[in-house]
Structures are given as structure tokens and as C-alpha cells.
Amino acid sequence: MTMPLLPRAATIKTTAAAMATQRGPVVPQYNIPLDIPVLFKWVPGGSDTEDDCTVFGYQGGSPGVWRRVRLPLLGANLTDADVTLDPQGNYIRQIPASTLSDNRVGTMGLTNTLSGDIITVVRLDVGAFTFTIINGGPAAGTLVTLPVSVQSFADLYFNGTNWIKLRAAQML
């Protein structure tokens, strides 16, 4: 008889290094190291590259990784400039009203990016200029263009190699 995967509270660890030196558990678990006070989830079989910030390994036990749980936080507003969008803890970015004075480009960056990351770009500006979002990965190209004169948004998903358009729409 197998035991059900019951919800568990996060375990507090003294340091991220201490968390990474324990044996890999068999089932998903959650830890919060005190030196990096954010939530990490054990992903059995996960193979993300360790970076000592968003992904930690393990010492023996079941294979997998400790992956930082990313929350959809509102980042700084985008300005009237071309920009690189990296998931630095800010997964929702917006272009405020009356911002764009020319056509602008947002490049989806790869710094600190993990497979499964989603960034939402919201355009509140209804001026006469476009905001084009391009893939910064190996399969470069335009993902979506947020059109002129209408509020719109785009959700962009990182598949481990490239950013892809998950969805985009005009807002009513």
C-alpha cells in the first residue's frame, strides 16, 4: 500500500549550504534557509544547473534539485526605452499610461532563468507606438507585438532553452 503525498509545512534550515548537503528526499518537500529567506521546493529527478542562488543540488539520496519557488511579483514599471526582461524576482512588468514616445523592444533574457518561468508584460499605454517582445534565446525572433492604441498583455514562458508566447490578448 502506498502512502498519499500529504501537504507538509516548510522546514527551516540554518543555511542554504546545509540544505544542499542533505540527502535528496524521495518526495517533494519544502525548505527555507535562513541565509536566503525564500521558499525552495525539492524537485525529484530535476536536473536544473546549480547556481547557488535559485537551484541547489544534494549529497546522495534520490536525484533531484532544490529549486527556488518563484512568486508572481510586480516589478518596476518599464520605461520609455528598449529593455532586457530577466526573471530577477519580478514576473509581472507593466508599461504605464503615457510612457512610450517611440516603438520599443523588450528582449526576453536568460539570466537566472529556469525552465517553467513565466513573465507577464502588461501594456497600459494606449499611445501610437508598439512594444515588441523578442526571444533572447537561440531561436531568436519576435514573440509578440503589443499593438498601438489599446491596452494589452502577453504571458511568456521559458521552456528551458527559449522563450515562447504562452498567450497574448487585448484587455477590455
Q: Taking the C-alpha atoms of 66, 164, 121 and 132 in order, what is their torsion angle to the nearest 10 degrees?
A: 140
Please say if the pLDDT value at position 160 is more than 90: no
Mean pLDDT is lowest, of 32-36, 129-133, 150-154, for 32-36
Confidence at residue 127, expressed as pLDDT on a 0 to 100 scale: 94
Q: Return the domain boundaries, the chain.
A: 11-68, 83-170
Beta bridge partners of 135: 108, 141
Separation in Å, CA 84 to CA 6, 59, 103, 118, 156 = 40, 36, 15, 15, 13
Cell numbers 504571458 label which residue?
155
| 3-class secondary structure, 19 | helix
Average the pLDDT over 75-94 and give the result. 87
Give the domain 83-170 fold. Answer: Jelly Rolls (2.60.120)
Encode pLDDT of 95-132 as tens digits: 999 999 999 999 999 987 877 788 999 999 999 999 99
Confidence at residue 3, expressed as pLDDT on a 0 to 100 scale: 54
The 8-class DSSP code of residue 161 comes to: S
Calculate what percentage of the chain has a pLDDT beyond 90.
51
Confidence at residue 90, expressed as pLDDT on a 0 to 100 scale: 66
